[in-house]
């Protein structure tokens, strides 16, 4: 499921690739993505691309039965808890990201944490491609989950500031311009492989100039120590009406605890 060596790699680098982790779930992932694209939710976006298509949408698992099955019935919760070294795995949200062939738009370098209203040492996203991916797979800056300051969050559509209020962010990095400053990790991936990464790990992706689609499902989890935090504006996802306060655990009726004790 996840080896001790993979757990240690995740803790050290903030990212690990687990070949074949969701191999048996690929058909269901594809079916769920098809349903999501046919019936986008209120957050569905085309990211203002003018060439190709970059569709993304999130927070649909309660209306897409394929996603709910993967979250509840696959080993995802246990893999998440073990990677985070947490007793529990609480589900935060699902995120579908599809780059169609001929889409040059890169995904900007970012950390997910600043967009979210949750923080902790125990967080993990699992990005699972439903197609073979070479150039357009996720790229990560090893060890960036330990950076003291977080990267300025930007709108994916136009790179403008995501929050109106100023905060002491670190500038968006450009590891390709300064390759000696950071170690970039990336892997060619097969359908059902998964990269696991901390919400604080800096990552981005190239455009998809390959002839095949690049469909992916990201599942986001938090562990025992994760707590609600106020951000300087509306977060992404926003979860309107959540009614949580600084320092609270995420409410379990909206964010289900899928595993409460690692066996
Ligand atoms: O699929 C992509 O291009 C970006 C994915 C991502 O940033 C994420 O899953 O957090």
Among residues 18, 31, 169, the alpha carbon closest in space to that of 79 is found at 18
Q: What is the pLDDT of residues 70-98, one digit of tens each?
A: 999 999 999 999 999 999 999 999 999 99
Burial 149-172 (b: 16+ CB within 10 A, else e): ebbbbbebeeeeebbeeeeebeee
Peptide bond into 135 cis (omega under 30): no
Q: How much distance in Å is there from the Cα of 39 to the middle of ligand 1? A: 20
Please give the model's pTM, rounded to 2 decimal places. Answer: 0.97
Position in ligand 1 atom list of the atom nearest CA 197: 10
Element containing residue 32 per DSSP (H, E): helix 26-38
Output the pLDDT for position 165.
Answer: 85
Confidence class for position 229, pLDDT limits 50, 70, 90: very high
Q: How far is the CA of 128 from the centre of ligand 1 (A)?
A: 10
Burial class of residue 32 in the structure, from the number of CB atoms within 10 Å of its CB (0-12 exposed, 13-18 middle, 19+ buried): buried
On average, the pLDDT of the chain sits at 96
Looking at the CA of residue 214, tell me the nearest atom of ligand 1.
1
Enter the CATH code of domain 4-259: 2.60.120.620
Instruction: Give the distance (Å) from ligand 1 centre to CA of residue 200.
Output: 13
**Quick one: tokens of 53?**
């298509």
Q: How far is the CA of 217 from the centre of ligand 1 (A)?
A: 9
Please determine, for residue 166, whether its predicted confidence score (pLDDT) is greater than 90. no
Q: Among 95, 104, 198, name the best residue to mutate to test ligand 1's pocket (greatest count of ligand atoms within 8 A of Cβ).
A: 95
Tokens 């569905």 sit on residue: 44
Going by CA atoms, what residue is nearest to atom 1 of ligand 1?
97
Counting atoms of ligand 1 from 1, which one is nearest the CA of 110? Answer: 7
DSSP state of 249: P
- Ligand 1: does its nearest atom lie under 6 Å from the Cβ of 127? yes
Are 46 and 98 spatial neighbours (Cβ–Cβ below 8 Å)? no
Q: How far apart are CA 33 and CA 27, in angstroms?
A: 10
174-187 residue pLDDT tens: 999 989 999 999 99
Average pLDDT over residues 113-123: 98
Q: Determine whether the shortest distance from the Cβ of 95 to ligand 1 is under 6 A.
A: yes
Ligand 1 lined by 215 (C-beta under 6 Å): no
Q: Residue 202: what pLDDT?
A: 98
Give residue-wise pLDDT tens across range 189-217: 999 999 999 999 999 999 999 999 999 99
pLDDT of residue 263 exceeding 90? no
Distance CA 227, CA 200 (A): 14
- Are the C-beta atoms of 155 and 164 separated by less than 8 Å? no
* E strand or H helix at 89: strand 89-99
Most ligand 1 atoms within 8 A of CB, residue of 45, 127, 131 to mutate:
127
């Amino acid at each position: 499921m996840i080896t001790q060596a993979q757990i240690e790699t995740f803790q050290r680098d903030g990212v690990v690739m687990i070949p074949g982790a969701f191999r048996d779930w690929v058909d269901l992932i594809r079916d769920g993505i098809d349903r999501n694209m046919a019936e986008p939710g209120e957050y569905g976006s085309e990211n203002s691309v003018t060439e190709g298509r970059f569709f993304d949408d999130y927070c649909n698992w309660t209306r897409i039965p394929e996603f709910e099955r993967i979250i509840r019935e696959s080993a995802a919760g246990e893999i998440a808890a073990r990677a985070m070294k947490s007793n529990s795995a609480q589900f935060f949200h699902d995120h579908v990201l599809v780059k169609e062939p001929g889409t040059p738009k890169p995904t900007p370098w970012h950390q997910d944490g600043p967009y979210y209203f949750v923080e902790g040492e125990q967080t993990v996203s699992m990005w699972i491609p439903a197609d073979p991916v070479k150039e357009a797979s996720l790229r990560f800056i090893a060890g960036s989950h330990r950076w003291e300051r977080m990267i300025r969050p930007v709108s994916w559509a136009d790179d403008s500031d995501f929050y109106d209020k100023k905060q002491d962010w670190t500038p968006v990095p450009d590891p390709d311009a300064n390759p000696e400053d950071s170690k970039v990790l990336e892997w060619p991936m097969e359908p059902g492989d998964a990269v696991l990464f901390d919400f604080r790990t800096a990552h981005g992706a190239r455009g998809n100039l390959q002839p095949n689609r690049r469909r992916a499902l990201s599942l986001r989890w938090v562990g025992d120590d994760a707590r609600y935090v106020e951000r300087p504006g509306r977060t992404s996802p926003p979860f309107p009406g959540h009614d949580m306060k600084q320092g609270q655990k995420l409410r379990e009726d909206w964010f289900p605890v899928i595993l409460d004790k690692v066996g």
